[in-house]
Amino acid sequence: MAHELPYIAAIAEAIHEEMERDETVLYFGQNIATSENDPFLQAFGSDRVRVTPISETAEIGIAVGAAFAGYRPVVELYMAEFMLVAMDQVVNEAPRFHYMSGGQVKVPIVLKAGYGFTCGWAGQHTGSIYGMFMGVPGLKVALPATAADAKGLMTASIRDDNPVVFFHHYLLTLEHGEVPDGEYVVQLGEAAVRREGGDVTIVALGWLLGKALKAAEQLAAEGINAEVIDPRSLAPLDTATILESVAKTGRLVIVDQSTRHGSAAAVIAAEVASEGFSSLRAPIKLVCALDATIPYSEPMEAYLLPDEAKIVDAVQQVLGFAPVGV
């Protein structure tokens, strides 16, 4: 059975259910649990649910230390960019201790951060910077595009014994979706085929999944059948599903809100070029943000970002090329 929830509430539901199930799960961060009516505070008390000052290095470092001591903290960071001041703890501490200690310690933490808020939040609050975290050994990255996945991936992230950066897209915050009742787990490392088709594979991340699906409808009206894949997590990355699809379609378009270099799209493209080259009948096309800081003014902001028209255009380009190296 399922119930309808907005994306952001589905994430909270997952955290709540896991905190009920496992008393070692903690939840802290800025601006939470300050009112005695807060549902988390009421349910779990001020030991397990706390507000912190604006101290990301300490917040994440405390999570690591509490994890060493057997707890499973979820840290509310609000925005991906707020992790940047604490990059040492995210990249250099949390994911390395299990390894450096020869397996003695585990760091089962979840860093929850929103991203991509491209609706006038300007240069410092709108980034899609997950590319910075994808290649870090020991660090996992979840990227839900639907309310159901928001719940399922958060549950999986909390249960994972490794540090997980859980990126939720701000433009999806109020998107409603059917969310399964009760325990619901979406494993990290499993992509989802959202639409089947044989002519081209479109891999689309987060908020852009919706745009890719709309583009696919438009293309279908022109007789082009697109297969649309949602990776759901970036580390581990389910390249097998993508390769299987490209083996069928021969053409790949990747849609990513970050800028090209250092993007998830670049990583996926490299994987497919390396492992699936013989399937490709056209070069891989990336539809990414243009290389600039996100500007404030609305027309400029829209200009930079991927949209349906750009996706349709990219598909038509990859279909217009002659096969490569036949």
Coil vs helix vs strand at 28: strand
Q: Which of residues 95-134 bind other proteins (CB under 8 A)?
A: 97-108, 119-125
Pairing verdict, β 226-230 and 192-195: antiparallel
Query: Rounded to the nearest whole angstrom, what is the least distance from the CB of residue 40 to other proteins in the complex?
Result: 15
Q: Which of residues 246-285 bind other proteins (CB under 8 A)?
A: none
Q: What span, in angstroms and rounded, lies between the C-alpha atoms of 286 and 41?
A: 44
Under the criterion CB under 8 A, does residue 42 sit at the interface with other proteins?
no
Q: In the numeric block, which tokens belong to residue 46? A: 């001020």
Q: Mark the segment that binds other proteins (CB under 8 A) among 8-16, 150-158, 200-208, 289-297.
A: 289-297
Query: Rounded to the nearest whole angstrom, what is the least distance from the CB of residue 234 to other proteins in the complex?
Result: 15
Of residues 105 and 319, the one with the C-beta less far from other proteins: 105
Task: Candidates 6, 68, 193, 214: give the one binding other proteins (CB under 8 A).
Answer: 68
Q: Which of residues 225-244 bind other proteins (CB under 8 A)?
A: none
Asked if 252 and 284 touch (Cβ cutoff 8 Å), the reply is yes
Under the criterion CB under 8 A, does residue 321 sit at the interface with other proteins?
no
Residues 6+ apart with CB under 8 A from 225: 197, 198, 199, 200, 219
Q: What span, in angstroms and rounded, lies between the C-alpha atoms of 167 and 217?
A: 27
Task: Candidates 6, 12, 16, 138: give the one binding other proteins (CB under 8 A).
Answer: 138
Under the criterion CB under 8 A, does residue 58 sit at the interface with other proteins?
yes
E-strand spans in the chain?
A: 2-6, 25-29, 49-51, 72-79, 110-115, 140-142, 164-169, 176-180, 192-195, 200-204, 226-230, 233-235, 252-259, 285-289
Backbone φ and ψ for 114, nearest 5 degrees, come out as: -85, 160
Q: Which of residues 71-90 bind other proteins (CB under 8 A)?
A: 71, 73, 81-82, 85, 88-89
Under the criterion CB under 8 A, does residue 300 sit at the interface with other proteins?
yes
Under the criterion CB under 8 A, does residue 30 sit at the interface with other proteins?
yes
261 is catalytic: no
Coil vs helix vs strand at 29: strand
Of residues 61 and 180, the one with the C-beta less far from other proteins: 61
Under the criterion CB under 8 A, does residue 291 sit at the interface with other proteins?
yes
Of residues 155 and 201, the one with the C-beta less far from other proteins: 155
Under the criterion CB under 8 A, does residue 64 sit at the interface with other proteins?
yes
Q: Mark the segment that binds other proteins (CB under 8 A) among 92-100, 199-207, 242-250, 260-268.
A: 92-100
- Please name which of 206, 219, 173, 191 lies closest in space to residue 318, comparing C-alpha atoms: 219
Task: Candidates 9, 14, 41, 67: give the one binding other proteins (CB under 8 A).
Answer: 67
Of residues 40 and 252, the one with the C-beta less far from other proteins: 40
Task: Candidates 135, 273, 277, 303: give the one binding other proteins (CB under 8 A).
Answer: 303
Of the candidates 3, 16, 125, 169, the residue annotated as catalytic is: 125
SS3 letters for 151-214?
HHHHHHHHHCCCCEEEEEEHHHCCCEEEEECCCCCCCCCCCEEEECCCCEEEEECCCHHHHHHH
Of residues 34 and 178, the one with the C-beta less far from other proteins: 34
Task: Candidates 298, 309, 321, 324: give the one binding other proteins (CB under 8 A).
Answer: 298
By residue count, the chain amounts to 326
Under the criterion CB under 8 A, does residue 51 sit at the interface with other proteins?
yes
Name the residue with tokens 């909390």. Answer: 158
Q: In the numeric block, which tokens belong to residue 254? A: 């990747």
Q: What span, in angstroms and rounded, lies between the C-alpha atoms of 24 and 247?
A: 44
Q: Active-site residue numbers?
A: 125
